[in-house]
Amino acid sequence: MTSVSLSTSAANALRADAVVVAVAKGPKGLVLAPGAETVDEAFDGKLAAVLTTLGATGAEGDSVKLPAPAGVKASLILAVGLGDATEGDAFDAEALRRAAGTAARALHGSKKAAFALPLADAAAVEAVALGALLGAYTFTAFRSEAALAGGKDPLAEIALVGAKRGDKANKAAVDRATVVAEEMNRTRDLINTPPNDLFPKSFADIVTTVGKEHGLKVEVLDEKALTKGGFGGIMGVGIGSARPPRLVKVAYTHPKAKQTLAFIGKGITYDSGGISLKPAGHNETMKCDMSGAAAVFAAVVAAARLGLQVNVTGWLALAENMPSGSATRPGDVLKMYGGKTVEVLNTDAEGRLVLADAIVRAGEEKPDAIVDVATLTGAMMMALGSRTFGIMANQDDFRDKVFAAATAAGEQSWPMPLPAELRKGMESPTADIANMGDRMGGGLVAGLFLQEFVAEGISWAHLDIAGPAFHEGAPYGYIPKGGTGSAVRTLVQLAEEASAGAL
């Protein structure tokens, strides 16, 4: 993976393939951001004018390359946009992350680059490091050697110039950024892995292997244990596949933990819709329906690697949703873990079924809070688009805390309500509840369904990441095409706040 280091060298004096500087949109045109001073000197103070001539605007996502002049040891200058200029040296952390990600993507094929971006404090150092590491991500595990030989390797080494190398806060910022980036990229790898290679058992095997590496306790319930234990939701979804389901528990504990969290991830390794088959054109990306489980897994590993003083248990509800002679049918009634019965009206509303079993099981351990993460509903994408996830909760103050954590972590989210009147639509004449309700507000209906399985006295939040979990368009900032790692940063932020006893 790409490495990040702090350098005391001036940007113009560092031996590298490229120097990255930042520009912004000022009231009278393009302006150089702090960090570009020594490079500007090499252009006799005319770098902004040259970049303007080449079409640079300073807008977010903007990037312009030009040859380095005499006085700069690198051969290439890359200018990336930060958006609107600000007073002083400080820029928004997300703008820094996106600019660094844009630069890292633009420098694929280079070995080393000096990033001379605004580094006003340790938070800025972390933002630049994280954005660069995420932007350098590529997924090549399934490409042939011949295809790889004709491509470009990701940027190998990044030197951050302008921050004190011996400063403990800056070093800690780089270390944290590295852990979070590596775990987000682990999430991306899992999401991008094709479903013939990643299925419930193979996913569980990966968790077991990685868990041992990081001192985590891993328990795996196979189809026999799930049947015996009464996990009717997970079994009901997975029973139609030749690859049986799993429930994986991965736990990190700390002797000085102040609080205990349970993270639950939807892990549908492929979703055909089951008997309620998805229409043509909706199947091709359904390998991403395990994004929630991947995010939860990565967040638990990150908590362990960061040594957070918190207990975090991840529950990965893994299944393939396939149509077959043994598959659950619309109209069937499932007896869920804990005894509640559910009439299945649509087998493509399967995520809430596997999550419900895991929520009840997690609640038995009496955590301080439960947070589930799922690519759950197309309705949430209709409401919030493809870059923002929705947050629902059984307590307004807890929902606000999760929203604040997501905002602090730099992830786009929005708090959503759970209107009580929508519960009536899930009434069933046959079972305790149906897995479908009103079509309008479908994302909220799904949240209300899950709330039914939360034990009294436990704070609970539901993150519907259907929009941002998988990006189908062109890469931008630090977001690649394919799996994104959505919700990992929010979960890590929550674990850090719980480590301080703040939840």
DSSP symbol at 287: G
Instruction: Pull the structure tokens for residue 84.
Output: 């609107």
Rounded-to-integer distance, Cα 130 and Cα 101, Å: 8
With CA atoms as reference, report the closest residue to 445 among 380, 371, 372, 388. 380
With CA atoms as reference, report the closest residue to 302 among 127, 426, 175. 175
Residue 98 and residue 24 in contact, taking contact as beta carbons nearer than 8 Å: no
Instruction: Pull the structure tokens for residue 76.
Output: 């290439």
Place of tokens 């909706």: 282
Tell me if residue 352 is catalytic.
Answer: yes
With CA atoms as reference, report the closest residue to 35 among 117, 102, 104, 96. 117
CB atoms within 10 A of CB 90: 14
Report residue 334: phi and psi, to 5°: -105, 140
Residue 135 and residue 101 in contact, taking contact as beta carbons nearer than 8 Å: yes
Instruction: Pull the structure tokens for residue 426.
Output: 């899930």
Which residues in 253-286 are b (16+ Cβ under 10 Å) and which e?
Answer: eeeebebbbbbbbbbbbbbbbbbbeeeeeeeeeb
In a 13 Å sphere around the CA of 411, the CA atoms on its Cβ side amount to: 30
Rounded-to-integer distance, Cα 387 and Cα 380, Å: 11
Tell me if residue 399 is catalytic.
Answer: no
Query: Of 340, 352, 361, 401, which residue is the catalytic one?
Result: 352
Coil vs helix vs strand at 30: strand
DSSP symbol at 389: E
Which residues in 297-314 are b (16+ Cβ under 10 Å) and which e?
Answer: bbbbbbbbbbebbbbbbb
Residue 478 and residue 97 in contact, taking contact as beta carbons nearer than 8 Å: yes
By residue count, the chain amounts to: 503
DSSP symbol at 193: S
One-letter amino acid for residue 500 of the chain: A
In the sheet with 341-343, reading across from the earlier edge strand, the strands are 333-335, 341-343, 433-434
Rounded-to-integer distance, Cα 143 and Cα 438, Å: 44
Query: Of 278, 387, 423, 481, which residue is the catalytic one?
Result: 278
Which residues belong to the active site?
278, 352
